[in-house]
Structure 1
């Protein structure tokens, strides 16, 4: 059926005024992300990268808390904490306090194994120390990590299962059972080839080298070895993510579910690896919804 001329002209005119769909973000777009300055910067160690940024919302609290751990292929080259201020500011505007963690990466003194993991311990210990001063509610806490940071937050969930003979073992720690992994590269053993292709990282850089006393370097570093741990994980991945494709999220979810933990995959349509962490991205409402669900916040 042929549309009348006037109707066809009207439809074409409307189409010309529709907003263009945002193109998937690239690395340069990610590196350009900015956000507000933190309420406070708190050191948890003497090294330059041993600090966290605290974002406290307006109001009297107590505030739920999102611990943010940036990615960047475990290297200084690709930014990290500054870019996550974009997400931190958006979360604080929603009444969620943010603990934005910097840490020693593999190309920094003391980074890699065990320093990078010890930094996660120390950053969370320091968060506990700051909680009462800033009216932070640590009974409502979620750890949110992107890419390499996804590996670290998924590891955080399994800290209680680290063997006692490991230098990473702690008898007491802040319990963080809600995890949001954004394009996470968490399974160091099973995804070693992908991690090498996507980030150029070898297992030895992330998990150390075998020794007589530590023959299996994944026993205390690999999130997939530290399940079940009672956690609930949301594996959020852009449909167009080529660094950590959706297949990675589905594979990890199956392993966690088979072990008895709760894991849910959320795929962001038309989103890249970098859209996953940008509050300016069309994917942000879906990411925000997952974070607020993880904190058991009411729908708005």
Structure 2
């Protein structure tokens, strides 16, 4: 599936727009299923090489379908990205953290279960979703540190970028955005890579599901396999679902060959 094919899909009706900060990018779309709740929450983090050229709209397909089919609320968040004022390090990370912690403020009015929160991220958003699970490891002096982070029940990575040091090495494409995101190469900004890369933060301490297209040209399958092996060696529980014939975008959209694996992962992550 190509990006043009993703863009050609008619968008679902938007969720309820809620701000979590003063910048125009600091908002999310909340979708809550019918019923009294309390509803578990799926935090959705879109990808796009951390760049402002890509926004949360394409992830609304996933948010709408997951809300209808899993009984969970979805919180599809926007954040400052490269090219936005304040995007990059640490602004993008702070936005993801603050948006997730905002669930506490939304819980009473929208009947949300803050003890059952799962992060789902695609591509660069997969890196940010995995990072969310590990941010309680950050020292108070770390730029993206926030006290008392909301605890996750698990993380689902869709074509997820898992190792920022390794991913920054090839030239061009999304790989080149890593240095822009963190303000330099690993040799120049090693401390930032150590605070941002899921591979460097292992063990994350929560179950992880990684759904990966075998034919993905943007996030190679080998990188996901390497991360999963390292995570298991560190003591984490990791499940990798390799989708034959799928590329980079199938894991992020309902109705594709990757959709059954994603539904199964969500149900496993939310299981009491």
**TM-score range with shorter-chain normalisation?**
over 0.9
1:152 pairs with one of 94, 118, 128: 128
Structure with greater helix share of residues: 2
Shift of 1:88: 0.9
Gaps of 5+ in 2: none
Render the CA deviation track for 1:192-216: whole Å, top value 9, x for unaligned: 124x444153443222348xxx762
Pairing partner for 2:150 from 158, 165, 174 = 174
Q: CA deviation at 1:130?
A: 0.2
Q: How far off is 1:191 after superposition?
A: 2.0
**TM-score under structure 2 length normalisation:** 0.92
* Closer, same or farther: CA 177–140 of 1 in aligned 2, 3 Å: closer
Counterpart in 2 of 1:5?
Answer: none
TM superposition shift of 1:121: 1.4
Q: Please say if 1:64 is aligned against 2:40.
A: yes
Counterpart of 2:7 in structure 1 is: 31
- CA shift, 1:70, in A, is 0.2
Which of the numbers 101, 106, 113 marks the counterpart of 1:125?
Answer: 101
Distance in 1, matches of 2:166 and 2:153, equals 23
> Which of structures 1 and 2 has the bigger CA Rg?
1
Listed as ranges, the matches of 1:139-288 within 5 Å are 139-194=115-170, 196-209=171-184, 216-288=191-263
2:195 aligns to what SS in structure 1? coil
Query: By how many angstroms is 1:282 displaced?
Result: 2.8
* TM-score normalised over the length of structure 1: 0.84
1:96 aligns with 2:75: no
CA contact (8 A) 1:75 1:105 kept: yes
Unmatched runs of 5 consecutive residues or more in structure 1: 1-24
Q: How many residues align?
A: 268
Whether the aligned pair in 1 keeps the contact of 2:214 and 2:221 (CA below 8 Å) is: yes
In structure 2, distance between residues paired with 1:107 and 1:31: 21
RMSD: 1.8
Q: Is the 8 A contact 1:35 1:87 kept in 2?
A: no
